[in-house]
Amino acid sequence: MTSPVVDIDSVGHDYATRQGVQQVLRSVSIRAYPGEMVCVVGPSGIGKTTLLRIIAGLQRPTYGTVSVAGKVLNGPSDSVGLVFQDYSRSLYPWLSVLDNVGLPLRAGLSRVERLERSRAAIHEVGLDAAEAKRPWELSGGMQQRVAIARAVAYRPAVLLMDEPFASVDAQTRSDLEDLTLRVRDDFGQTVVLITHDVDEAVYLADRIVVLHGSPARVIAEIPVPFGPRDQLETRGGAEFARIRSQVHRLIRFGASEVLTSEEIPCVS
């Protein structure tokens, strides 16, 4: 059997607050397999960003372990590329698009290789004509495309995205969703995308992981059977509506109250 690229094993997280210990995540186990797009959904405040920071190696879990590409994480890993919601803070305003994208490229690459990789990533996101511009000369959607190019330029095995399209308008959001699918297909990344937006998760995911409760745990994993996606056709279909309503009910009521066991394909 194929090994998972991301293996989140029984992760729990507590924050120490002035009121005492706040348990945010409990026994969260999620696996993502090569080339898979896994979308983790849950409402605001449930612990999604905490989980993403743990998968990125930016924060240590209180319990459990995370392995990426077969190695247990002990800190940030260069197998992981990150895209956050707030593109305006993730790019360096004084650097050109080309230099922003090239910045994290691994030491050990020659200047020519760095340029080649940066330009390939910039081309992938359709920003060839803007490579000499500074981020503040670009629209929000274009800045987020730069952030995506930067995250994939050094070809990490995993792309982690935290609400990446939450700060752009609806049309730009659709464009960025399709761009993310294309980048995944062309560069072969395994993607873990975290969002509160159920429609976005159903549109993008090969598998949806639903978080629920406080502390949050995984209450369902829902495979999404669509082939190549199309914003109008996929979203307009009956299967889309069915999965969407299933995920909404899970988020709202949890697993046991509303679903029979056949309705939850796999519950961890």
Ligand X SMILES: Nc1ncnc2c1ncn2[C@@H]1O[C@H](COP(=O)(O)OP(=O)(O)O)[C@@H](O)[C@H]1O
Residues forming the site for ligand X (CB under 6 A): 15, 17, 24, 42, 44-50
Q: Which is nearer to ligand X, 76 or 223 (CB)?
A: 76
The site partner of 19 among ligand X, Mg ion, none (C-beta below 5 to 8 Å per kind) is none
Q: Which is nearer to ligand X, 55 or 98 (CB)?
A: 55
Query: Whole-number minimum distance, CB 233 to Mg ion, in Å?
Result: 30
The site partner of 201 among ligand X, Mg ion, none (C-beta below 5 to 8 Å per kind) is none
The site partner of 24 among Mg ion, ligand X, none (C-beta below 5 to 8 Å per kind) is ligand X
Query: Whole-number minimum distance, CB 113 to ligand X, in Å?
Result: 36
Q: Which is nearer to Mg ion, 23 or 96 (CB)?
A: 23
Helix (H, G, I), strand (E, B) or coil at 124: helix
DSSP letter (8 states) at residue 3: P
Judge whether 216 and 24 are in contact, CB under 8 Å.
yes
Q: Which is nearer to ligand X, 14 or 99 (CB)?
A: 14
Query: Whole-number minimum distance, CB 241 to Mg ion, in Å?
Result: 27
Backbone angles phi, psi at 234, to 5 degrees: -60, -50
| Helical residues (DSSP H) of 79-222, grouped into ranges | 87-90, 97-102, 111-124, 140-153, 170-187, 198-204
Judge whether 36 and 6 are in contact, CB under 8 Å.
no
Nearest residue (beta carbon) to Mg ion: 49
Q: How many residues bind Mg ion (CB under 5 A)?
A: 2
Q: Which positions from 48 through 67 interact with Mg ion, judged by CB under 5 A?
A: 48-49
Query: Whole-number minimum distance, CB 47 to ligand X, in Å?
Result: 4
Which range of residues in 47-55, 112-120, 232-240, 245-253 is near Mg ion by CB under 5 A? 47-55
Question: Of 123, 124, 227, which is closest to residue 183 (Cα–Cα)?
Answer: 124
Question: Of 50, 27, 83, which is closest to residue 218 (Cα–Cα)?
Answer: 27
Query: Whole-number minimum distance, CB 3 to Mg ion, in Å?
Result: 29
Q: What's the CA angle centered on 71, arms 177 and 106, to 5 degrees?
A: 65
Question: At 221, which helix (H) or strand (E)?
Answer: strand 217-223
Residue 105, CB half-sphere, CA atoms under 13 Å: how many? Answer: 24
CA 148, distance to chain mean position in Å, is 11
Q: Which is nearer to Mg ion, 117 or 217 (CB)?
A: 217
